[in-house]
């Protein structure tokens, strides 16, 4: 589980030095800031709410790999393949439940919400109780 349970990851992101299809925390990368709060600590994972201050490619995935907490199912960025298989994920566990922004033309705040898709809802059920 991430420790502390609420925090900020402030680490520059750029191209991975040896795998150009990936990104990584690198000294000469672009300024990148991710705020997080652990919502629920589960037996095999943590459910985390993330707020982006910047918007770099793969930012959430890279920052959580850098603090040794890769996203469940994210094999590209270091997730446990056994856990991904047990919860039935073939992709990273990443979903925007709520997304808000200032509309570029009207200046009004726009917010949309989205429930978990079936695969993530199932994975959450598994890690909440059935994962053994």
pLDDT above 90 for 132: no
Q: If residue 89 lies in a helix (H) or strand (E), which one and from where to where?
A: none
Contacts of residue 106, defined as CB under 8 A and 6 or more positions apart, other chains included, come to: none
Q: Rounded CA gap, 116 and 58, in Å?
A: 20
For residue range 84-100, what is the model confidence (pLDDT) as tens digits? 999 999 999 999 999 99
Q: Which of 67, 15, 58, 14 is nearest to 38 (CA)?
A: 67
CB 53 within 8 A of CB 33: yes
Q: What is the arithmetic mean of pLDDT over 118-126? A: 95
Determine the distance from the C-alpha atom of residue 13 to the mean position of all C-alpha atoms in its chain, rounded to a whole number.
15
Domains of the chain: 6-130 (3.30.2350.10)
Q: What is the arithmetic mean of pLDDT over 52-75? A: 97
């Amino acid at each position: 589980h991430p420790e502390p349970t609420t925090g900020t990851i402030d680490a520059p992101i750029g191209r991975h030095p040896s795998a150009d299809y990936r990104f990584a925390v690198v000294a000469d990368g672009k300024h990148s800031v991710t705020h997080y709060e652990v919502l629920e600590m589960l037996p095999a994972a943590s459910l985390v709410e993330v707020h982006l201050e910047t918007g770099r490619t793969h930012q959430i995935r890279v920052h959580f790999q850098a603090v040794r907490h890769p996203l469940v199912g994210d094999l590209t960025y270091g997730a446990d393949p056994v856990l991904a298989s047990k919860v039935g994920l073939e992709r990273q566990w990443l979903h925007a439940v709520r997304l808000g922004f200032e509309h570029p033309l009207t200046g009004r705040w726009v917010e949309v919400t989205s429930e978990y898709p079936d695969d993530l809802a199932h994975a959450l059920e598994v890690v909440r109780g059935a994962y053994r």
